[in-house]
Amino acid sequence: MIDSFRDAFRLPDLKRKILFTLGMLFIFRLGAHMPTPGIDTEAMARMFEQGGVLGFLDMFAGGALRRFSVFALGVAPYINASIVMQLLVVVIPALEKLQKEGDEGRKKIVMYTRWGTVFFALVQAVGMTIWLRNLGIFSGTLLDAIVAVVTTVTGAIAVMWLGEEVTDHGIGNGISLLIFAGIVARIPEALVQTWSLLRMGELNLISLLVAVILMVVVVAGCVLLQEGQRRLPVQYAKRVVGNKVYGGQSTFIPLRVNQAGVIPIIFASSVLLFPYTIFRFFSGDWAVTMQNLFAPGSAVYMVLYVVLIVFFAYFYTAVVFNPVDVANNMKKYGGFILGIRPGRPTSEYIEKVMTRITLGGAVFLAVVALVPTLMTSVVNMSTFYFGGTAVLIVVGVALDTVHQIEAQLLMRHYEGILKRRDKTGGLLRL
């Protein structure tokens, strides 16, 4: 592993991508510490010390919401816009047709997603400003409120731009890496708080050992979930083209158990936090009751959380994986699954297998997301947040980024071998 990272910085292109990604993450963390004008930061800190859903929201913002900084909204508006756009693509035939038109159609959908991000950012910024004003944390004139709204909306647009720039010119998925950076940035603070509680006697050693064992088990489960796959054996028939024979080899189709990655977790969390945020704007006993129902950790929240994780696992798998295209490509090149006829029977078989393993992966994904949260409440370690949602995102994004770096290394090394062979033996000059 150390040699691989050393080789990564020896390659100019890969080194530039890694440094560019780190630079964008630094800008994101810098913006998370720039407070919005007119906000009483001390009052915000006291409110977030109470924990609950605010701490959960702040986890995705990387501490930016606690300070109500320029990047207080984080990636939430972009995620909400992406969810709505993907749902509309499935429902509206015109958008589905637009998506299949190639690069130009996808560019238009990306443009619609960006405008949706601006809309959601504006709604959330206005709602949060009114809410903080009612709590007395934001005390300013109407002009100050407008400045706060414009600042946070601009910050959300900047976060979206940072994520897209990392995806286009860096390593890994930009939005996922921003969420990853926000979660990882809170780990040192959590470790310091846990050590302080241990020294003061408020946390016993047995509870800490249970938490450490739980962390190891959850991380191992997340790695198995991300790397697990079902391999379908494929045989390619021999073809004679001129005087040469092609095909005849055996290979496999790797069907990932968790094809959607961490997307179901992120989407489910964003959808469930939306009604809670809406009910915060109202007063009265009914509003408090609805807030308690949809608050993270409640029974209703956990049930809906599991249902949405399973739903988005199937939904996103259907978006990124098309069995019909796989079957048609196999038939085009003379490939077939043993015992299955090419064409439609093959696509139906692949879809059947994918449905089964997706169910297992989605259920395991939900279990890993909920068990640490339940155990954290049992062990009574509220300050040491190591919930399944955070672990799944961190492990999933880390593995995906490492795989992309490895792919870049393999590609560069392969080219380097070809160049050396060309210089020494001249075998590749034909």
Name the CA radius of gyration of the chain, rounded.
25
CA neighbor of 83 nearest in space, from 165, 162, 175:
175
Structure tokens at 430: 């034909």
For residues 37-48, average pLDDT: 70
Q: Which has the minimum average pLDDT: 26-30, 38-42, 177-181, 401-405?
A: 38-42
Predicted confidence at residue 115, as pLDDT, reads 92
Give the three-class secondary structure for 49: coil
Establish if 311 belongs to a structural domain: no
Establish if 412 belongs to a structural domain: no
Predicted confidence at residue 129, as pLDDT, reads 81
Which has more confidence, 365 or 371?
365
Task: Give the separation between CA 150 and CA 139, rounded to whole angstroms.
Answer: 16
Task: Give the separation between CA 337 and CA 350, rounded to whole angstroms.
Answer: 10
Residues 117-131 have pLDDT tens digits of 999 989 888 888 887
Confidence of residue 426 (pLDDT cuts 50, 70, 90): very low
Establish if 157 belongs to a structural domain: yes
* Residues 57 and 273 sit within 8 Å (Cβ to Cβ): yes
Q: The CATH number of the domain where 41 resides is what?
A: 1.10.3370.10
Predicted confidence at residue 417, as pLDDT, reads 35
Looking at the chain, the whole-number percentage of residues with pLDDT higher than 70 is 81
Confidence of residue 430 (pLDDT cuts 50, 70, 90): very low
When divided into structural domains, the chain yields a total of 1
Dihedral over alpha carbons 332, 337, 343, 349 (to 10 degrees): -140
Establish if 39 belongs to a structural domain: yes
Predicted confidence at residue 188, as pLDDT, reads 80
Give the three-class secondary structure for 234: strand
Task: Give the separation between CA 277 and CA 241, rounded to whole angstroms.
Answer: 64
Establish if 96 belongs to a structural domain: yes
For residues 379-404, average pLDDT: 68
Predicted confidence at residue 119, as pLDDT, reads 92
- Residue 40 Rama label (left phi>0; alpha psi -120 to 50; beta): beta
User: 24: domain range?
Assistant: 1-185
For residues 271-290, average pLDDT: 74
Which of 101-105, 118-122, 142-146, 396-400 is most confident? 118-122
Decide if pLDDT at 221 tops 60. Answer: yes
For residues 261-270, average pLDDT: 77
Task: Give the separation between CA 82 and CA 102, rounded to whole angstroms.
Answer: 19
Establish if 155 belongs to a structural domain: yes
Looking at the chain, the whole-number percentage of residues with pLDDT higher than 90 is 2
Decide if pLDDT at 56 tops 70. Answer: no
What's the chain's average pLDDT? 77
For residues 348-370, average pLDDT: 86
Residues 146-183 have pLDDT tens digits of 888 888 899 889 989 998 898 888 888 888 888 888 88
Decide if pLDDT at 261 tops 80. Answer: no
CA neighbor of 371 nearest in space, from 424, 418, 306:
306
Decide if pLDDT at 422 tops 60. Answer: no
Establish if 163 belongs to a structural domain: yes
Establish if 83 belongs to a structural domain: yes
Decide if pLDDT at 428 tops 50. Answer: no
